[in-house]
Structure 1
Amino acid sequence: MATIRLYLDKRRSKQDGSYPIKIVINHRKDIMINTPYSVKEKEWKNNRIAKSVSNSEAKNAKITKMMSDIEAKLLDLDRDGKLRLLSDKQLKEKLQTKRSDKPTLFIQTYKSFTDTRTAERTRELYNNTLNKILEYDPEPTFEGIDYDWLENFDLHLRQKGDATNTRAIELRNIRAVFNHALKKDITNVYPFRKFEIKKEETWHLDLEIKEIQSIIKYDGKWNHFRDCFMLSFYLIGMNLKDMLFAKKKDVKKGRLEYRRSKTKKLYSIKIEPEAKEIIDRYPDDEYMVSFIRMYKDYDGFKRAINYALKKLTDEEGNVIDERMSTYFARHSWATIASDIGISKDTISEALGHKYGSKITGIYINFDSEKVDLANRKVIDALTKEC
């Protein structure tokens, strides 16, 4: 039977001084199969890419997988009595032939599942994950994504600098596609039975009441960002993008009525006097407030406000919280609401989360007055603590 080995082809270097790594199959003569990688001579140690090379473990794993696939094909050909009948050219063609439509099946399943996600941001996250998968493995298959593949993919992401929780998002997205494929009888393999997706506890993204009071009292060059943050807080942690693009006509009879872009859920929020004061300070013919007019686009405004919030100082000149971003408004509202005794169901409804069981949720027509009262209590808590 044919033998197989790795070979650093030093006959001709590339422009960067590296040499291609090839898989050599000795049949009648040596047959060379290209791998996707090339390294400099000093980076090739004991038939492996040295650890000093970026993503070395993931690259070595990919090469090992390629060799295993070739060995499997050779065994099949030998068992069927076909190997000895093939010329070197014929064998090379067979070994380089892509495996049917299995990679396409995984990719198409992944894409079709992504298309069913209703939120634009969710689809974007799934597409980002697919790009990372294809960067690591150009031909992913349901059968090929096993425990070792997941471990090496996770290692590949870690070596590229992705944090633990970022990698967890990518792995959960892959798991969701496998769950979908199982339900649809597309595959019967499931590598996540033993594979554990690791995550780290994140910092709490909330502020204490006295810190929010310091934001209210802040007076400096970033007052408009202070007002934008506080308006979000007064509107129960309203999402920045939804708030910036809320229309003037969405304000009706003292309430802001809009559909959240992420979840498509309808909201009706009572505009408390503190919120109205800020809205009146930034009038616009089209939008509820004119903040978005200050920058070329939403992304520019978002970058600017998240930079400025980290620089806000209290009356003594101390930075309030160097981690602060617009997300803190929503988390802080929820934390204060919980601290002053507002029920979890009311907080969940105010934030647009699901609460209770699916069945009870069908029959409960949540009273918006409870949410209005909760928001008033949270805002009053800022005054009582002064």
Structure 2
Amino acid sequence: MLTIKAEIQRDKLRQDGSYNVRIRFTKDRKVKRISTSLFAKKADLTDRFTIKEDSLIKQEADILILHYRKMFNEIHLEAETLDVNEIVARLNSRDKSDKPVDFIQFAKEWIANSTLKGAVNYTSALNSLIRFNKSEKLYTHQITSEFLQEFMAFLLNESKERAEQLKEKGKRVPSTRSTSLYLMSIRRLFKEAVKQYNKPDQGLIRIKNTPFAYFQIPKQESTRKRAITAELIRKIEQLPYQTVYKGIHHTNRFNLAKDCFILSFCMIGINSVDLFNATEYDGNTLTYYRTKTRDRRMDKAKMIVTVPKILHPLFEKYKDTTGKRIFNFYQSYVNEKAFNKAINKGLKEIGSILKIEDLEYYAARHSWATIALNKVGVSKYVVHEALNHIDESMRVTDIYIERDFSNENKANAKVVRYVFGR
């Protein structure tokens, strides 16, 4: 039989002259004590070191004892087979399960400790949630399917207002993909909270609701098609260089954009961040690990590209003579973001000349895929592999296949030949 009592231990006097009130659980002559937030002074105790019946501390201790007795009665049938340590562990789990989880606080800590490249997207999603909630205090039980519906409406309205502001300024209006992306980010954060706070094997379920089971996240709006024709790519390559250079590094964004666009297109749409940080080149092939998906793939998103001869002059032009990297872009731009920004500003100048609306660096990647599939006859699977995308359905198969990148580079040779004739 289990007995539950409040007790004071005579030898546990604190520096402030008080004693912590402990709850003592006894079963089969075995004892387990837990501390409480109650503290008794000498005036609250009898000579025998029991709590005086008429004291406030006694009333509060009795409430705690009643609380534990009630919880014990709820597990009474199985408690007969448990020892006192297991019983107290179960009671503590039940106790914790009643404590609400602050979702926003958890999310902030999770993002801060995350090594994901897309952590900034989670921060943006969380900031949107805080704006909608009008408070940085939000418990998981408050996140219901109805709450999510209202949050989605809020996101769509924000997107609409932003689009109207951009229209007034004559700028391009982005898609509403952020609504889906933000909702997916919040769903991921909610799942992570469930993983952290729910321990079913210990009988601890602090997050009991499943709001996303009854809420459908809208499908993402298709990304804007940014591919341009082979003729326009040739025109970019044939544009004369500008002769005016600026800054201490003697740079020209127009020239940089022209060259980097061709570098990207002829190397299967390599991203600017990977171009900026590339370090492995043997004179024939460039090896890199795609930054965007490196942390989500077992192969670290490895890519080996045979460098077409058409690019050899550009490799020589931008060669890093120190040997630290393949290209010397890092010597002129503080980081990959500044580098990408400079390229896109230069591409706006090029787009203006060639009448290409809102030309961006990523158009090289889109154009390579489009030409490979529609003009050269490369299979969609090879295009998928060449772009180094993640295919969940192939994860197991990929474990058994040693990839040599030959199909991707054969496809690239066909694309380069189709566009440039060499």
Asked if 1:240 corresponds to 2:272, the answer is yes
Structure 1 counterpart of 2:223, from 191, 202, 212: 202
CA 1:145–1:156: 2 relative to 1, 3 Å: same
Q: Aligned partners of 2:371 and 2:114: how far apart in 1?
A: 32
Contact 2:262 2:364 in 1 (8 A): yes
Match of 1:255?
285
Spell out the pairing of 1:172-321 with structure 2 (5 A cutoff): 172-181=184-193, 185=198, 187-198=207-218, 199-221=220-242, 222-247=254-279, 250-264=280-294, 265-285=301-321, 286-313=324-351, 317-319=353-355, 321=356
Q: CA deviation at 1:341?
A: 1.7
Radius of gyration: which is bigger?
A: 2
Contact 1:232 1:238 in 2 (8 A): yes
Q: Counterpart amino acid of 1:327?
A: Y
Q: Aligned partners of 1:246 and 1:113: how far apart in 2?
A: 31
Q: Aligned partners of 1:195 and 1:129: how far apart in 2?
A: 17
Match of 1:94?
none
Q: CA deviation at 1:332?
A: 1.4
Q: CA deviation at 1:228?
A: 0.8
Asked if 1:156 corresponds to 2:194, the answer is no
Q: CA deviation at 1:267?
A: 2.1
Q: Aligned partners of 2:387 and 2:138: how far apart in 1?
A: 39
Q: Aligned partners of 1:103 and 1:298: how far apart in 2?
A: 38
Asked if 1:357 corresponds to 2:394, the answer is yes
Q: CA deviation at 1:200?
A: 2.6
Asked if 1:375 corresponds to 2:412, the answer is yes
Contact 1:103 1:139 in 2 (8 A): no
Report Cα offsets for 1:179-208 as digits up to 9, x if no partner. 445566453422233433334333212112
Q: Counterpart amino acid of 1:246?
A: A
Asked if 1:337 corresponds to 2:357, the answer is no
Q: CA deviation at 1:219?
A: 1.9
- Alignment partner of 1:312: what SS? helix
Q: Aligned partners of 2:267 and 2:116: how far apart in 1?
A: 22
Q: Aligned partners of 1:210 and 1:287: how far apart in 2?
A: 32
Give me the TM-score of the superposition, normalised by structure 2.
0.59
Contact 1:259 1:267 in 2 (8 A): yes
Q: Counterpart amino acid of 1:307?
A: K
Contact 1:218 1:313 in 2 (8 A): no
CA 1:117–1:349: 2 relative to 1, 3 Å: farther
Q: CA deviation at 1:273?
A: 0.8
Q: Counterpart amino acid of 1:169?
A: L
Q: Counterpart amino acid of 2:149?
A: E
Q: CA deviation at 1:109?
A: 4.5
CA 1:215–1:293: 2 relative to 1, 3 Å: same
Contact 1:119 1:262 in 2 (8 A): no
Spell out the pairing of 1:46-125 with structure 2 (5 A cutoff): 102-104=100-102, 106-107=103-104, 109-111=106-108, 114=111, 118-120=115-117, 122-125=118-121
Matched length: 279
Unaligned runs of 5+ in 1: 1-99
Q: Counterpart amino acid of 1:210?
A: E
Match of 1:130?
126
Contact 1:237 1:331 in 2 (8 A): yes
Match of 2:140?
142
Q: CA deviation at 1:174?
A: 1.0
Give me the TM-score of the superposition, normalised by structure 1.
0.64
Match of 2:74?
none
Q: Aligned partners of 1:364 and 1:347: how far apart in 2?
A: 17
Q: Aligned partners of 1:116 and 1:375: how far apart in 2?
A: 39
Q: CA deviation at 1:300?
A: 2.8
Q: Aligned partners of 2:361 and 2:105: how far apart in 1?
A: 36
CA 1:109–1:343: 2 relative to 1, 3 Å: farther
CA 1:119–1:381: 2 relative to 1, 3 Å: farther
Greater alpha carbon shift after TM alignment, 203-212 vs 217-226 = 217-226
Match of 2:177?
165
Match of 2:39?
none
CA 1:379–1:327: 2 relative to 1, 3 Å: same
Q: Aligned partners of 2:316 and 2:226: how far apart in 1?
A: 29
CA 1:276–1:178: 2 relative to 1, 3 Å: same
Contact 1:229 1:329 in 2 (8 A): yes
Contact 1:311 1:322 in 2 (8 A): no
Q: Aligned partners of 1:347 and 1:309: how far apart in 2?
A: 25
Of all paired residues, the percent bearing the same amino acid is: 29
CA 1:361–1:295: 2 relative to 1, 3 Å: closer
Match of 1:10?
none
- Alignment partner of 1:284: what SS? coil
Q: Aligned partners of 1:119 and 1:295: how far apart in 2?
A: 24
Q: Counterpart amino acid of 1:175?
A: R
